[in-house]
Amino acid sequence: MLTFSKVLNAALPQTCVLCEDRKAKSHVQGMCSPCLAQLPWRSSACCPQCGIGNNAAICGQCLSNSPFYDTTTALFAYFYPIDAIVHAYKYQKGLYLSRLLGELMAMHSTNLHPVSIPIDGIVAMPMHPERLRERGFNQSHEIAKIVSRALKIPLYSDACQRIINTPPQATLALKERAKNIKGAFDCANEIAGLRIAVIDDVMTSGASLNELAKTLKKSGAKSVHNWVIARTL
């Protein structure tokens, strides 16, 4: 049987996805060390709750209107070439990139401050079944599978569902996004009492992650921590 991991392995590029250097030694699958070093890495000096700003203190926005999630860790700022990589991954079926992004998240999550909080379980940002049929895969779930394996933290694949097929958040103004996503998720009680890391690709307004955190906490999650590939600033 041709499993997903077999397809993934077959599709893995032997060269760096950015500079196409064939000889460069690579830290992670698919990218050479010099290119890795030049990615727009986020420093940990930002609001630990929402992941924005350049100051390692809770920001005014989080103080005045506290989100349901407890911490946010973003690997990258959503700049070139990360925006291009995420775009290729999601919209050009660049499934082999899930290995690269998942390995980067697993590798660096242990080094980043908020992630040193022990995590009991991982949940991927759920996709509505209709959207899943259109795209063929849930980009966050593919990354979450790799992170779960690498960090040996259980992945709760069926704990959260998207029960309303809302219009894509990217098509809406920032203030419309919270309204759009309200009530969109359903979470099972199996995550009750657990410290949950939610994996998503890009965090923009944080409205989807906040609604999911709210739903997870209603189902008894002890704490919720966003692990995202990139954060818009």
Whether 213 and 185 have beta carbons less than 8 Å apart is answered as: no
CA–CA separation, 50 and 39 (whole Å)? 21
Binding part of the chain for Zn ion, among 45-53, 150-158, 164-172, 194-202 by CB under 5 A, reads 45-53
Task: Provide the minimum distance between the beta carbon of 145 and Zn ion in the complex, in angstroms, as a whole number.
Answer: 25
Judged by CB under 5 A, the residue of 7, 11, 19, 56 near Zn ion is 19
Binding part of the chain for Zn ion, among 7-15, 42-50, 111-119, 189-197 by CB under 5 A, reads 42-50
Query: Is the C-alpha dihedral spanning 202, 45, 233, 76 positive or negative?
Result: negative
17 counts as binding Zn ion under rule CB under 5 A: no
207 counts as binding Zn ion under rule CB under 5 A: no
CA–CA separation, 119 and 152 (whole Å)? 10
Tokens found for residue 45: 């000096």
18 counts as binding Zn ion under rule CB under 5 A: yes
227 SS3 class: strand
Say which amino acid occupies 2.
L
Task: Provide the minimum distance between the beta carbon of 151 and Zn ion in the complex, in angstroms, as a whole number.
Answer: 25
35 counts as binding Zn ion under rule CB under 5 A: yes
Binding part of the chain for Zn ion, among 2-10, 15-23, 83-91, 159-167 by CB under 5 A, reads 15-23
Q: Mask 61-80, x = binds Zn ion (CB under 5 A)?
A: -x------------------
160 counts as binding Zn ion under rule CB under 5 A: no
Judged by CB under 5 A, the residue of 39, 46, 47, 209 near Zn ion is 47
Residue 167 has what DSSP assignment?
Answer: P
Residue 18: which of 46, 49, 40 has the closest Cα? Answer: 40
Task: Provide the terminal-to-terminal Cα distance of the chain, rounded to the nearest Å.
Answer: 43
233 counts as binding Zn ion under rule CB under 5 A: no
As beta bridge partners, residue 74 has 228
Residues of this chain that bind Zn ion (CB under 5 A): 16, 18-19, 21, 32, 35, 47, 49-50, 59, 62
